[in-house]
Amino acid sequence: MKILKTILISLILFSAAVYAQDGREAGTPSIRTNGEAMVTAQPDRARIDIGVTTEAATSQSAVSQNAEALEATLTRLRQLLGANANIKTIGYTLTPNYRYPKDGGERTLTGYTATNIVRVTMDDLTKVGSVIDAATQAGANRVNSLEFSLKNENTAKDQALREAALDARRKADALAAALGLKIVRVLTVVENGPIAVPVRNVAFARSAEAATPIEPGMIEIRAQVSVTVEIG
């Protein structure tokens, strides 16, 4: 009897291991479907990369001019956004400039280029155009990127997952009905994502007579869900 019990327990454990590895019982008739969904949300955060590039005959002069222009830019931005504005440096370069003879020969040093880029993160989207105008008027000559996103993506992501799961189940129901079968239970659910796609590189044109118009658009959140159901 002890030997028989040992064999039975071993068989049960083996079956459980197979079920855990495969996600469903071996030989269970099933249907697997993939569901997709996309939801949109109004952005509530903006990120702008603004910079100053200066060129001069000497490295010291290029750096000095750059620092002066950037300091004026930062002062103007803090006046507009407040002393606690979310501004941080994300890049700084100082590179030599050379002239290369067309017919070959030694290159000639012509000067230096200094570039300093800062990132401005803000939640008041109505001021995005004003920030760009204020920065360029104060001395900035580069706007590398403009991106709109969500401060909290969880609500939109949850909605996308729900809709993707419903889409997968709808497809499973349609397949089962077409084949004259019934869905017994859900065996596995696998989610892929969700992914929020921010709005990047928004085009704008600066005018001396009017503020820069900015339209943030909508954030897209995409999700995919795979569902495996037992049929009978």
User: Domains plus CATH for the chain?
Assistant: 23-42+152-208+215-231 (3.30.110.170), 45-149 (3.30.70.2970)
φ, ψ of residue 30 in degrees (nearest 5): -150, 165
Query: Measured between alpha carbons, how far apart are the two ends of the chain, in Å?
Result: 37
- pLDDT, residue 27, reads 76
Name 38's bridge partners: 222
List pLDDT tens digits, range 97-144: 999 988 888 899 999 999 999 999 999 999 999 999 999 999 999 999
Strand order in the sheet with 183-197: 30-41, 219-231, 183-197
> Which residue is it, tokens 């954030």?
219
Contacts of 109 (CB under 8 A, 6+ apart): 96, 97, 98
Lowest-confidence segment of 24-38, 85-99, 146-160 by average pLDDT: 24-38
Longest dimension (CA), the chain: 97
pTM of the model: 0.73
How far are the Cα atoms of 34, 35, 78, 172, 174 from residue 30, in angstroms, in the given order? 14, 16, 61, 10, 14
pLDDT exceeds cutoff 70 at 20: no
Mean pLDDT, the chain, as a whole number? 86
